[in-house]
Amino acid sequence: MSTVLGLSGGFDRVHTNDFQFPHSFAHDSAAVLLRNGRVVSAIEEERLNRIKHTNKLWTRAAARCLRDAGLRLSEVDCVAYYCSEPWLDAVLQQGFLFTGHRLGLLGARRLLQFLLARELGEELPLDRFRFVPHHRAHAVSAHWMSGAPSSLVVTLDGFGDDISGSVNAVRDNVLETLQTFDVAQSLGHYYLSAIAVLGYRLFDEYKVMGLAPYGSPDRFRDLFRRFYTLGDEGQYTIHTGEMTALLEVCPVRERGGPFTRAHKDVAAALQESLETIVFHVLRHCRETTGLSRLCLAGGVAQNSSLNGRILASGLFDEVFVQPASYDAGCALGAAMDACLARGELPNVRLDHVYWGTAIAEGEPLERELRAWQPLVTVRRLEDRATDTARLLAAGAVIGWAQGRAEFGARALGHRSILADPRPAANKDVINAMVKKREAYRPFAPSVLEEHAHEYFDLPRQVTQLPFMTFVVPVKPERRAELGAITHEDGTARVQTVDRATAPAFAALLEAFGALTGLPMLLNTSFNNNVEPIVNDVHDALTCFLTSGLHALVVGDYLVEKPPLTADSLDGFAIDLPDYAVIREETRIVPSGERRTARMLCCTYEGGHAIEISREAYALLTRCDGRRPLASLTAGEGHAIPMREALQRELMAILGSRLIRLVPLAAGGRP
């Protein structure tokens, strides 16, 4: 029985940028541990370092996987990385010429050896490292978790190993690559280029998919047809140079600005054109291979509207989308490929992705929650499912954290924000008070598996959609009833819930159904707009305290928040996350005068910054994560109103995730 650690992502620590890789190069760092081909632990680095789509070193994730498995690094038989060794060697050499950083001269294998030894304290022999080409990692992760004996596997993304996609046939557990697409054909880059006029950028692609139903593709269909050519044998060409024509017909939206009809119509035409190109590829592959089962992976496979069209088309008997199909899933695929080479990879149908950090139970959990008093009140629930269902039926919006965290981009009932799916107003309420994002953005429904066909138009053979990877039609007669989860075009990104794999969540859906007649809830990821999905109790409490959530249910405990008072924060310490810095800078205002601004800033690419008051600046420069705020403000001469104003500012800064609140009653830093 062997143990394999799969890795994806970059090589810099959170507070360094030695290699100067752009965020687009090595995003979605992750670690996955397999024992005898089975997942023991899998977690994205972003859940731990709290940087969305992080391209930083996978140190915390790798350490967490080893801890979950009860292993030391030296006991791992193989470390698998998600790109080819020659390609990464070349990138590192080019990086050395650009940055002068001598680690780039080590080469890929020795660099991984060095970084793991530096970070985890043990040096592995060089022969324990394996490099798996990027799109092979995508493909292996898709097929060998589909449960299908044979399949057509298509991978599409921005790029990896200098290709942007591949077509593969798997027969008798042997993967054969039939076709690849070069970077000039990248559908990920194509989509990204078009959304720039909509005020969006890398990692915003899913927002445009959600905007598309509000527009019509008719207006710009002919224009978008100039941007690509469909060729013979499933080939296509992207005409990137033509895409500047968008600037002539659509005003560029300022980030955060309003959407015009033109913006919505561009989103609709873009989505339609993507589907046209992908179907062109798929039809050819279906005809030439004769394979009736399709597996999808790569960042483009995160487009659940596209996936829904494929599912409904009848082109394939079965469609499986790897739920972490973006680059974090390559850590899984690389590890699986290493097991495949050893003859230790079972072909099983994936039924859940609850592989991450576990929430404690019983007394340890209660002790951790009560350490946050007086900011919260804590009460043990006699019947978690029924008591929570009553709150939801009465109109509450609730944070819900149970069991092990999900691996992948979707909250699937273990790290979720939940609400009644019926009132259409709930969509606006949650977007405004919790997610703090665009009002049009849709939410997903989670429904007990056996009731899915009552509410959604699904192909007859489809009984399970457990990973929120498909957008499907809501039955016309149900759309008015399901106002909070029905998209503008009458669809929804549905999750079916099975009692065996998610018993706590299924029990809640059943209890809500018993009260309301509807075994379904609105389910969205438990986070705000500047952070990844919450990982542990500390993250859940932070999000709860800085949002409009009415209540939080963690394990069997109900957490609520009393009003903030002048001394609510006295027993807490504050420190800065690794990615935050505080500084003073001189600015020239419009009058020409110089003004001192006090700033709290993210150091990572694309991060945000806020201006803070003189009082907050003075306090934060003295915070160290150990001393309580009461001791730091004592003798400062603050009147009670000033203390209350300062505490309100600190809570607002906490909402931006530029400081961390440390409950000293829990023993210090988490």
pLDDT tens column, 185-242: 999 999 999 999 999 998 899 999 999 999 999 999 999 999 999 999 999 999 999 9
Q: How confident is the model at residue 498 (pLDDT cuts 50, 70, 90)?
A: very high
Which residues face 584 on adjacent strands? 598
Name the burial class of residue 370, with classes exposed (0-12), middle (13-18) and buried (19+) by CB atoms within 10 angstroms of its CB: middle
Instruction: Please report the sign of the dihedral spanned by the C-alpha atoms of residue 646, residue 652, residue 657, residue 658.
Output: negative
Q: How confident is the model at residue 101 (pLDDT cuts 50, 70, 90)?
A: confident
Question: Rounded to a whole number, what is the distance in angstroms from the first to the last CA of the chain?
Answer: 34
Of 118-122, 290-294, 666-670, the one with minimum mean pLDDT is: 666-670
d(CA 499, CA 506): 5
Phi/psi for 535 (5° steps) reads -110, -50
DSSP line for 547-579: S--SEEEETTEEEE-PPP-TTTTTTEEEE--TT
Q: Within 10 A of 226 (CB to CB), how many other CB atoms are there?
A: 11
pLDDT at position 354: 98
d(CA 443, CA 192): 23
User: Is residue 418 a contact partner of residue 521, using CB atoms and an 8 Å limit?
Assistant: yes
CATH class for the domain made up of 572-666? alpha beta
Question: What H or E segment, with its residue span, contains residue 268?
Answer: helix 261-289
Residue 565 has pLDDT above 60, yes or no: yes
Q: CA nearest 533: which of 542, 523, 525? A: 525
Q: Which residue has the higher pLDDT, 607 or 549?
A: 549
β-strand pairing of 557-560 with 551-554: antiparallel
Residue 582 has pLDDT above 70, yes or no: yes
Q: How far is CA 149 from the centre of its chain?
A: 30
d(CA 312, CA 275): 13
**Token code pair at residue 316:** 């394939």
Q: 3-82+85-131 has which fold?
A: Nucleotidyltransferase; domain 5 (3.30.420)
pLDDT at position 639: 53
Instruction: Please report the sign of the dihedral spanned by the C-alpha atoms of residue 458, residue 292, residue 294, residue 151.
Output: positive
Please give the average per-residue pLDDT across 500-513, as a whole number.
Answer: 98
d(CA 328, CA 42): 10
pLDDT at position 42: 98
Instruction: Please report the sign of the dihedral spanned by the C-alpha atoms of residue 135, residue 137, residue 141, residue 143.
Output: positive
Let me know if the fold of 3-82+85-131 is the same as that of 572-666: no
Q: CA nearest 415: which of 301, 317, 555? A: 555
**Token code pair at residue 431:** 């977007």
Q: Within 10 A of 248 (CB to CB), how many other CB atoms are there?
A: 7
Using CA atoms, how far residue 536 sits from 356, 369, 435, 513, 590, in Å, is 10, 11, 18, 28, 45
Mean pLDDT (the chain, rounded):
94
- Position of tokens 């009058």? 591
d(CA 87, CA 108): 9
CATH architecture of 135-326: 2-Layer Sandwich (3.30)
Phi/psi for 316 (5° steps) reads -125, 150
Which residues face 378 on adjacent strands? 559
CATH class for the domain made up of 354-560? alpha beta
d(CA 289, CA 233): 12
Asked, as a colleague might, if the bond just before 374 is cis with ω within 30 of 0, I would say yes
d(CA 153, CA 139): 6
Please give the average per-residue pLDDT across 30-40, as a whole number.
Answer: 97
Residue 635 has pLDDT above 90, yes or no: no
Domain spans of the chain, in order of start? 3-82+85-131, 135-326, 354-560, 572-666
- Position of tokens 């029905």? 486
User: Is residue 146 a contact partner of residue 292, using CB atoms and an 8 Å limit?
Assistant: no
d(CA 43, CA 31): 6
Give the helix ranges, DSSP H, for 291-411: 304-313, 328-341, 362-370, 384-393
pLDDT at position 442: 83
**Token code pair at residue 503:** 């018993």
What lies within 8 Å, CB to CB, of 582 at 6+ separation is 576, 598, 599, 600, 601, 612, 617, 620, 621
Which residues face 358 on adjacent strands? 404
pLDDT at position 23: 67
Q: How confident is the model at residue 173 (pLDDT cuts 50, 70, 90)?
A: confident
User: Is residue 185 a contact partner of residue 165, using CB atoms and an 8 Å limit?
Assistant: yes
